[in-house]
Chains A and B, each alone.
Chain A
Amino acid sequence: MIRDAPEAAGIASAQGRAVNGPSPGGTFHVEGIAFWAPTLPGWAAARAAFRGDAEPLATPAKRPAPEILAPAERRRAPDTVALALEVAGAAVRESGLDAATLPSVFTSAHGDLAVNDYMCTTLASQPTLISPTKFHNSVHNAAAGYWTIATGCHAASTALTAFDASFGAGLLEAASQCLADATPVLLVAFDVEATGALASVTASAGMLACALVLAPRASERTVATFDWSLASGANRSPGLRSAAARSLGGNAMAGALPFLEAMALASDGGARAVDAPSAAAAAASISLPLTRSLAIVLAPRPSAHAAARAT
């Protein structure tokens, strides 16, 4: 159930001391979106595939080399860092905002599984030979650290995990910061393939990353708008509409895919009018699990661009 969450609530809370009494949630505007998976290396490709307009690549792309990193670091960085900085950079570029002043929320179910595999393998054989660089790359906030260093960002940055609910938890934190402090927030979500002995217990296939810039107020850059709230009750992850999204379902960040499909339908690329089934799907709210009995519910508002074209 979606309760009406007027923007006024967000503005009131931002200006003042506390909001007293329950507030159901709020609204965020997506000012930038980015995506990367080996078969869908970029949001334009992913958006088309999630809408059913295009197929994923037959030959997977090599891992991204984010421009924001120095050339030597582009090669040396762990996969998670390369992935996260690629999508973070693309989403912030689209938003037109200054990365140096943007608070950020990084979320990943498992962090860098290859670095963890290295650490545990080395500890089991020659613990005194641990690489100091691999050790500091093993922290869950490594991507957040590299991002803030690369962009000269002194704003708050956090790194979260909530196992299979990591995307929902990251979105909740980013949406909360956006609403509570009336600030744009960068959300970056990623997971990589399980490697080595860890793969015998940890399920994660391939690489998947996405980034969103959420803003408290609409602007000419707004590509989609969502009202959000928390809802109790038994829940499970919503199904996926597209074969392209389903093909990525084995990654530990697959919980982001229902939202990304909604973004693909809600965000208006201006290419063509959306057909009736897509329009209906674009208007439907989606529910992302936070725990076994709680979800963050996202209700897309009609696209301003689409509305303008319809008149």
Chain B
Amino acid sequence: MPAPIAPLRISAYTVTSAAGPGKAALHAALRDGRSALSPNDFGPTPLATWIGRVAGVESTPLPAPLAAWECRNNRLAWLGLNGDAFIDAVHSARERHGAARVAVVLGTSTSSIGATEDAYRHLDDRGGFPAGNRNPRVHTPHSLADFVHAALDLEGPCVTVSTACSSSAKVFATAERMLRLGLVDAAVVGGVDTLCGSVLFGFNALQLVSPEPCRPFDADRSGISIGEAAGFALVERDDGAEAALRLIGYGESSDAHHMSTPHPEGLGAERALDDALARAGIDATAVDHINLHGTASAKNDEVEAALVARRFPASTHASSTKGITGHTLGAAGIVEAAASLLAIEHGIRPGTVNTRVLDAACGPQIRIDAVRAPVRVALSNSFGFGGSNCVLVFAGADADGQA
């Protein structure tokens, strides 16, 4: 078991999803149990499915000094960065610590592959990329962190974590290590993934895409709804003054089972859970709320429901927010970290939107309806292709998890 870690302060965070720009929009959707999914209208030949699409991406070009990074994913990143005065918080950290002491660690699954897909639809007469869409720093998975590093004018380490749907959860672990070792004094973590052909048609090929709005943990669930989102958090070492919001633990593991199907007994997920609780120095009874991975795929929800049922008390309130935002893939980790932080800040335990009848595999922990109740400790689960798992543990100021 890993040793406990010192908590990290979450100095600022923001999230932009189909629910709208900024934290307030996601908070309202969590509170009201409102789905932000809509019929798929993305791309030249849309599949019959539902998506979580962010409004305004097309009409918000990057500012001129950043135009070299122009693509849909970096536009969404820019929209996201402009939420909740996040840029001001980063600039303040840069002033306090120095630009070289602030890292950028971001997660994405497909980054700007949408721009590469566009180029392939408009190749020039020599079979090359068309003029105006040839920046090599766009057509590569590091495009996102490279762009954000430049946009925030930072000089610390800059790396992209790309482990499919656990990407922007694992960024907290990488940042925690950098902070613990004193390599940096602050880190911008988070992630961005935009809708693109690769994921819509790819998940369709795997027969994982639902023709209706996704219904996580429903007995009659029929697959996932793909979404897009941008989210960021500024993390720093806790200086001792009780921070209102803290990351107190994380666990990372591998299923070692299959590229696109979870381990049938949830072995990897349970190991990530155990490591997360050990780093937080708490046991499962201290967890008030779990933001589940809960994609509404048949297999994920079955395995995750069984894990929650055998490991948590009935008092733990567990739910999936993917019926609100869709599955935002590489951004799911940060979107659901933000949902967990909102749950702590506002004393709300979100429900599982769109779901009507819970699967028989669900224990009493998994709830359809949101309730108002304090959340001191919240867990967020993120599981991805390749069997990549990450569990995060967040706490509010009055949590006794670190006692």
Inter-chain contact B201/A145, CB cutoff 8 Å:
no
Residues of B contacting A16 in the complex (Cβ-Cβ under 8 angstroms): 3
Q: Assess whether A230 is interfacial by the CB under 8 Å rule.
A: yes
Inter-chain contact B385/A145, CB cutoff 8 Å:
yes
Inter-chain contact B163/A17, CB cutoff 8 Å:
no
A-contacting 9-mer, from B112-120, B335-343, B352-360: B112-120
The listed residue (A17, A111, A127, A177) touching B177 by CB distance below 8 A is: A177
Number of CB contacts from chain A to chain B under 8 A: 247
Report the separation of the CA atoms of residues A170 and B158 in the bound assembly, to the nearest whole angstrom. 11
Inter-chain contact B174/A128, CB cutoff 8 Å:
no
Inter-chain contact B155/A136, CB cutoff 8 Å:
no
Most A-side CB within 10 Å, residue of B4, B137, B385: B385
Inter-chain contact B120/A162, CB cutoff 8 Å:
no
Most B-side CB within 10 Å, residue of A120, A145, A146: A145
Residues of B contacting A293 in the complex (Cβ-Cβ under 8 angstroms): 100, 155
- Chain A min CB distance to B299 (Å): 14
The listed residue (B134, B156, B157, B207) touching A201 by CB distance below 8 A is: B134
> Which chain A residues (106-150) contact chain B, with CB distance < 8 Å?
109-111, 116, 119-121, 123-124, 127-128, 130-132, 135-142, 144-146, 148-149
- Chain B min CB distance to A176 (Å): 5
Q: Assess whether A278 is interfacial by the CB under 8 Å rule.
A: no
- Chain A min CB distance to B194 (Å): 15
Q: Assess whether B361 is interfacial by the CB under 8 Å rule.
A: no
Q: Assess whether B310 is interfacial by the CB under 8 Å rule.
A: no
Residue of A nearest to B98 (CB): A232
Inter-chain contact B117/A201, CB cutoff 8 Å:
no
Q: Assess whether B264 is interfacial by the CB under 8 Å rule.
A: no
Q: Is the interface of A mostly helix, strand, loop or mixed?
A: mixed
Inter-chain contact A142/B386, CB cutoff 8 Å:
yes
> Which chain B residues (140-162) contact chain A, with CB distance < 8 Å?
140-142, 145-146, 149, 155-162
Inter-chain contact B161/A159, CB cutoff 8 Å:
yes
Inter-chain contact A202/B140, CB cutoff 8 Å:
yes
The listed residue (A23, A110, A156, A200) touching B252 by CB distance below 8 A is: A156
Report the separation of the CA atoms of residues A163 and B145 in the bound assembly, to the nearest whole angstrom. 10
Q: Interface code B154-180, partner A: CB below 8 Å = 1, 0 otherwise?
A: 011111111110000010011001111
Q: Assess whether B365 is interfacial by the CB under 8 Å rule.
A: no
Q: Assess whether B64 is interfacial by the CB under 8 Å rule.
A: no
Inter-chain contact B202/A158, CB cutoff 8 Å:
no
Residues of B contacting A22 in the complex (Cβ-Cβ under 8 angstroms): 182
Tally chain B residues at the interface, Cβ within 8 Å. Answer: 78
Report the separation of the CA atoms of residues A304 and B387 in the bound assembly, to the nearest whole angstrom. 40
Inter-chain contact A148/B181, CB cutoff 8 Å:
no
Q: Assess whether A290 is interfacial by the CB under 8 Å rule.
A: yes
Q: Assess whether A169 is interfacial by the CB under 8 Å rule.
A: yes
Q: Assess whether A26 is interfacial by the CB under 8 Å rule.
A: yes
Question: Given A140-B163, A156-B253, A294-B100, are A124 and B121 neighbors across the interface (CB < 8 Å)?
Answer: yes
Report the separation of the CA atoms of residues A232 and B97 in the bound assembly, to the nearest whole angstrom. 14
A-contacting 9-mer, from B122-130, B311-319, B392-400: B122-130
Question: Given A21-B182, A109-B142, A179-B181, are A160 and B259 neighbors across the interface (CB < 8 Å)?
Answer: no
Inter-chain contact B178/A176, CB cutoff 8 Å:
yes
The listed residue (A131, A137, A157, A291) touching B149 by CB distance below 8 A is: A291
Residue of B nearest to A129 (CB): B205
- 8 cross-chain CB contacts under 8 A: A124-B117, A130-B202, A141-B388, A144-B254, A149-B258, A157-B388, A166-B142, A291-B157
**CB-CB nearest 6 A-B residue pairs:** A145-B386, A200-B128, A135-B202, A140-B162, A18-B6, A156-B252
Chain A residues within CB distance 8 Å of chain B: 13-26, 109-111, 116, 119-121, 123-124, 127-128, 130-132, 135-142, 144-146, 148-149, 151-163, 165-166, 169, 172-173, 176-177, 179-181, 197-198, 200-203, 230, 232, 290-294
Chain B residues within CB distance 8 Å of chain A: 2-6, 45, 47, 100, 109, 113, 116-117, 119-121, 123, 126-129, 134-137, 139-142, 145-146, 149, 155-164, 170, 173-174, 177-183, 197-198, 201-207, 237, 252-260, 267-268, 271, 384-388
